[in-house]
Structure 1
């Protein structure tokens, strides 16, 4: 699955929280535009892989401009956002690969519909997302978020945390963690595991750190 760019065109902020959650769930960057900034967004030089159009309150001129932009750029896939009471008046584009979603839909449905349009046949599987308390791990993009904010982990810190979180309720010795996380070629001592555990705990905060339990005489366990 490769990184994609989404352009959201909306006259309100009602989708912003869901779009922020979406950017944590799948590997996308999101640009925001309204009627006033649409022309600036499309002339910025950025290439967009999906257009999400919230037509509520949009003028016909803006709707026509969006249609032209999509067509002139090889019929970029479009996801229309429609209010339930306006389904009978919904106007779907006749060309290109498009879909619609109700404005009341949650982020899970939004993720599925966007993934189908962005990565047909290779959608991000639910197993790619691990959620524990206020932490989200995206295994597809190697990203960790605490309270929706990215955590700056080194590759080995991420690998250690993701391994423990995806193998919960089982104690692993330091030697086993060196083998499973660092690999056969690592020649350092087991103390490096303790050092990395300490760094991970300090970066993820006390709520998540409490799940990383030291098993005296053995090693570490991720308790859920």
Structure 2
């Protein structure tokens, strides 16, 4: 599995928290948009691997715009969130891979359906254990150990460390790390990345910290 980008089209913010949960469960970034900002989102320069449509409150014009975008870009996979009371009105793209899920579905089902569309044929997750020197990261439990002793990291510190450790030997700019780790919706400055890198280095100790390399003028790289 490798990083994917998701576009969420919704009239309301009722699934924003669910998107944050999904972002931490899978290696994805999510850009929320509305029918009014949809054209800006698809012209933003980002390439999307999945379009999630919260159909509640969307009119046919908005659905037609998604159909056109999906078909014009190689039939991007689509997941439609549908209220059970409106199943008779379910609209799925005529071509390409698509699926639907009830708005009342649980977090795990939502995660699995997205994974099936994002990584067809790769549904088996890679090893949940990442080991580097005296550090062990358990990707399934969001825990980090140094010499078998748990390290007290915040969620964002863990997310930053685990992202770098699972994407080694490649330099990432601060802006890219903000998108990959904090998500498209984050509006803070790039200094946030520097602060979290400093905290992570201090908590994991010098042996592991030496793997987190500052690339001058670019950002950071995890060196194996």
- Shorter-chain TM-score: what band? 0.5 to 0.7
Aligned to 1:130: 140
Aligned to 2:15: 15
Aligned to 2:156: 149
How many aligned positions are there? 155
Deviation at 1:145, TM superposition (A): 9.9
Aligned to 1:53: 53
- TM-score (ref. length: structure 2): 0.61
Equivalent residues of 1:18, 1:106 under 8 A apart = no
Aligned to 1:199: 203
What are the Cα deviations for residues 131-186 of structure 1, in whole angstroms up to 9, with x where unaligned? 2xxxx259xxxxx996643437768xx79xxxxxxxxxxxxxxxxxxxxxxxxxxx
2:112 is paired with a residue whose SS is helix
Deviation at 1:35, TM superposition (A): 1.1
2:86 is paired with a residue whose SS is helix
Equivalent residues of 1:153, 1:200 under 8 A apart = no
Query: Are 2:74 and 1:74 equivalent residues in the alignment?
Result: yes
What are the Cα deviations for residues 83-134 of structure 1, in whole angstroms up to 9, with x where unaligned? 0111111122221000001111122111100110010111253973422xxx
Structure 1 distance, partners of 2:33, 2:10, is 6
Q: Relative to structure 1, is the Cα distance of residues 51 and 130 closer, same or farther in structure 2, using a 3 angstrom cutoff?
A: same
Structure 2 distance, partners of 1:48, 1:114, is 13
Structure 2 distance, partners of 1:153, 1:7, is 22
Q: Relative to structure 1, is the Cα distance of residues 124 and 13 closer, same or farther in structure 2, using a 3 angstrom cutoff?
A: farther
Q: Relative to structure 1, is the Cα distance of residues 10 and 152 closer, same or farther in structure 2, using a 3 angstrom cutoff?
A: closer
Cα RMSD over matched residues?
3.1
Query: Are 2:127 and 1:120 equivalent residues in the alignment?
Result: no
What are the Cα deviations for residues 194-218 of structure 1, in whole angstroms up to 9, with x where unaligned? xx9x8349xxxxxxxxxxxxxxxxx
Structure 2 distance, partners of 1:150, 1:21, is 16
Q: Relative to structure 1, is the Cα distance of residues 58 and 137 closer, same or farther in structure 2, using a 3 angstrom cutoff?
A: farther
Structure 2: gaps of 5 or more residues: 129-138, 145-150, 167-199, 206-224
Q: Relative to structure 1, is the Cα distance of residues 34 and 137 closer, same or farther in structure 2, using a 3 angstrom cutoff?
A: farther
| Higher Cα radius of gyration | 1
